[in-house]
């Protein structure tokens, strides 16, 4: 039984960029944010990244999934064991496949085993309940973004943009007190962000990413390729909507004949322009766009966003948040909501038929889900 009032929740996130595990503590009652605690990061080495990459797109019985799950489990146990005085853990796992209209959603990692190993209750499998009720299962950070908008004292709507492997946007109105209430939130995946650009860098340069946007800064955007990218039917769909990491694999074909510099510039422009298209869905203009995730470190992408949008664009650090840890913090916050019986998604964030508290709870004493 979770104690009443403010608790210390530890969240962990291993994103689609496959760089490593973020871990962060949030102090909360599941509604308001009381404070933020320590953070940690555990990088995946090259062999671990290769094992995870080999399992992308695979379902539980697929080739390489068991090896990938071992990587996920070991990395999380190592980084989470370094925290003290934790009341519960929110464990996202590693998304390997996401098909909400078909087979569902698949995150590698066993929360029950993690609870036994760390002797702390673990909330996990956050997405499946949402998908079973007709939702997209993503994005799940918006309820936390709404709490962040209230924590920073925003007077009107603000937008949070996560530029991870996939881009996702949350429009939040902090004047509406409950995140599941009408008019509080709108959220959806904007399109590909860092994942295809990282794949390009790995294929052509053997590098994990375009550090500082250095390669893109030397290139020219191929407008024809950009226009073909924007013809993708996903951009015509109304939100809520979500993507799998590899949903836009054809992007690499669109830049195949381009030199490295132009290919990087064009793929960066694709990610930024997808956000611009997404911003058109906001119910009202946000006061500002706050950017989190690895993409905020790419000055070329950030400048493209500033040039193409009518509102100020800034990293979340400008309002006192940690852009490297926001998703890990989100799953700490959501874990508390699950144990308090509070919703973690709603129609405006995932398209789910009714607001739902998604997540499985495992106790350390027997590791069984309850």
Specify whether the CB–CB gap between 124 and 362 falls below 8 A. Answer: yes
Report the alpha-carbon distance of residue 255 to residue 266 in Å, rounded: 8
Tens digit of each residue's pLDDT (9 = 90 or more) over 250-292 = 899 999 999 999 999 999 999 999 999 999 999 999 999 999 9
Structural tokens at position 362: 């495992």
Please report the pLDDT score of residue 17 as a whole number: 77
Domain ranges for the chain: 7-138+338-348+357-362, 153-319
Arithmetic mean of pLDDT, 183-210: 94
If DSSP codes are grouped into helix, strand and coil, which group holds residue 363?
Answer: coil
**Structure token digits, residue 258:** 């381009």
Q: Classify domain 7-138+338-348+357-362 at the CATH superfamily level.
A: ATPase, nucleotide binding domain (3.30.420.40)
Comparison of pLDDT for 247 and 218, the residue scoring more: 218
The whole-angstrom separation of Cα 242 and Cα 179 is 19
Angle at 210 between CA 208 and CA 215, to 5 degrees: 140
Predicted pLDDT at 311: 97
Q: What is the pLDDT of residue 250?
A: 85
Instruction: Tell me if residue 3 falls in helix, strand or coil.
Output: coil
Same fold, 7-138+338-348+357-362 and 153-319: yes
User: In this model, does residue 367 exceed pLDDT 50?
Assistant: no
Q: What is the pLDDT of residue 248?
A: 85
Q: By C-alpha distance, which of 210, 143, 189, 147 is closest to 358? A: 143
Tell me: the pLDDT tens digits for 139-195?
899 999 999 999 999 999 999 999 988 999 999 999 999 999 999 999 999 999 998
Task: Cis check for the bond before 240: say yes or no (omega within 30 of 0).
Answer: yes
The per-residue pLDDT of the chain, averaged, comes to 94
User: Going by C-beta distance under 8 Å and a sequence separation of 6 or more, which residues neighbour residue 202?
Assistant: 208
Structure-block tokens of residue 237? 């769909």
Q: Rounded CA gap, 172 and 152, in Å? A: 12
d(CA 156, CA 242): 26
Q: Is the pLDDT of residue 82 over 70?
A: yes
Whether residue 327 contacts residue 15, with contact meaning beta carbons closer than 8 Å, is answered with yes
- Say if residue 366's pLDDT is above 90: no
**Fold of the CATH domain 153-319:** Nucleotidyltransferase; domain 5 (3.30.420)
Task: Write down the pTM of the prediction.
Answer: 0.93
Provide the pLDDT confidence category of residue 301 given band limits of 50, 70 and 90: very high
């Amino acid at each position: 039984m979770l104690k009443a009032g403010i608790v210390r929740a530890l969240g962990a996130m291993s994103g689609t960029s496959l760089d490593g595990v973020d871990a962060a503590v949030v102090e909360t009652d599941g509604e308001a944010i009381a404070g933020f605690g320590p953070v940690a990061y555990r990088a995946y080495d090259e062999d671990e990244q290769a094992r995870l990459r080999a399992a992308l797109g695979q379902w539980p019985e697929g080739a390489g999934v068991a090896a990938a799950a071992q990587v996920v489990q070991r990395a999380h146990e190592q980084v989470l064991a370094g925290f003290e005085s934790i009341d519960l853990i929110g464990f996202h796992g590693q998304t390997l496949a996401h098909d909400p209209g078909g087979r569902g959603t698949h995150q590698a990692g066993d929360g029950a085993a993690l609870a036994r190993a760390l002797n702390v209750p673990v909330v996990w499998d956050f997405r499946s309940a949402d998908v079973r009720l007709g939702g997209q299962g993503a994005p799940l950070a918006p309820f936390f973004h709404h709490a962040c908008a209230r924590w920073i004292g925003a007077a009107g709507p603000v937008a949070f943009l996560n530029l991870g492997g996939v881009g996702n946007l949350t429009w939040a109105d902090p004047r509406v007190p409950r995140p599941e209430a009408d008019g509080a939130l709108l959220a959806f995946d904007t399109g590909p962000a860092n994942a295809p650009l990282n794949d390009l860098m790995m294929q052509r340069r053997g590098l994990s990413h375009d550090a500082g946007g250095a390669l893109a800064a030397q290139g020219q955007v191929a407008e024809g390729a950009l226009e073909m990218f924007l013809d993708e039917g996903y951009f015509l769909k109304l939100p809520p909507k979500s993507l799998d990491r590899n949903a836009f694999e054809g992007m690499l074909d669109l830049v195949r004949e381009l030199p490295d510099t132009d290919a990087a510039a064009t793929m960066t422009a694709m990610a930024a322009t997808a956000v611009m298209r997404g911003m058109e869905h906001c119910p009202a203009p946000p006061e500002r766009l706050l950017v989190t995730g690895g993409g905020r470190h790419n000055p070329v992408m950030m400048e493209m966003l500033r040039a193409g949008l009518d509102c100020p664009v800034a990293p979340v650090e400008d309002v006192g948040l940690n852009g490297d840890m926001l998703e890990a913090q989100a799953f700490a916050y959501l874990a508390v909501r699950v144990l308090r019986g509070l919703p973690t998604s709603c129609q405006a964030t995932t398209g789910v038929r009714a607001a739902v508290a998604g997540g499985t709870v495992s106790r350390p004493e027997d590791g069984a889900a309850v």
